[in-house]
């Protein structure tokens, strides 16, 4: 496995508190990070090196690589792990696992990821995958359910633990 530390990028979908069990009953912790094309080039090069070392230059050209190029030229990578990753703040202070949920880390946060690139072979399919070890949150953007902003002109207000009411 080749160790990788990403440059700062923009967080996308994340499972840092609980593993995603949609396709795997054991679950996987995941984080997507989007990097500018220049920043992504180093990770792509590292993945190519892993493929060449593992499969040889001829097969490396046919290897499935991690990362998806976006319309704007940026690249989104997905890092995965069966083990819960350590999460740190901008000053490299470890955030206790029980505190992570309260942070509500949302897409759009600026993060860095420590992980590794490793080759895999599954029947006729060969590729390189990215493993997740640690995440550093540089700038926190809190998750907002539904993607809505508060509407100060609205009259319906729900108060937890009491009945709903409309204000007029």
What is the phi/psi pair of residue 117, to 5°? -105, 130
In terms of DSSP bridges, do strands 86-88 and 125-139 run parallel, antiparallel, or are they unpaired? Answer: parallel
Please give the span between the terminal C-alpha atoms of the chain, in angstroms, as a whole number. Answer: 62
CA distance 76 to 34: 4
pLDDT digits (tens, 9 = 90+) for 129-152: 999 999 999 999 887 666 667 778
Is pLDDT at 67 greater than 90 in this prediction?
Answer: yes
CA distance 9 to 108: 9
CA distance 21 to 15: 10
CA distance 78 to 71: 17
Task: Give me the mean pLDDT over the 84-107 stretch.
Answer: 90
pLDDT digits (tens, 9 = 90+) for 38-59: 999 999 999 999 999 999 999 8
State the chain's mean pLDDT as an integer. 89
């Amino acid at each position: 496995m080749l160790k990788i530390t990403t440059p700062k990028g923009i967080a996308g979908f994340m499972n840092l508190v609980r593993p995603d069990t949609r396709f795997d009953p054991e679950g996987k912790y995941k984080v997507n990070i989007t990097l500018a094309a220049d920043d992504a080039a180093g990770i792509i090069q590292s993945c190519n090196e892993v493929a060449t070392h593992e499969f040889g230059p001829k097969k490396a050209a046919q290897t499935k690589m991690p990362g998806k190029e976006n319309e704007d030229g940026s690249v989104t990578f997905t890092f995965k792990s069966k083990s819960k990753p350590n999460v740190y703040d901008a000053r490299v202070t470890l955030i206790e696992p029980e505190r992570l949920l309260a942070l509500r880390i949302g897409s759009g946060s600026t993060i860095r990821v420590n992980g590794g690139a490793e080759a895999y072979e599954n029947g006729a399919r060969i590729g390189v995958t990215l493993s997740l070890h640690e995440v550093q949150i540089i700038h926190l953007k809190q998750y907002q359910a539904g993607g809505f902003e508060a509407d100060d002109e609205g009259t319906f207000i729900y108060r937890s633990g009491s009945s709903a009411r409309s204000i007029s």
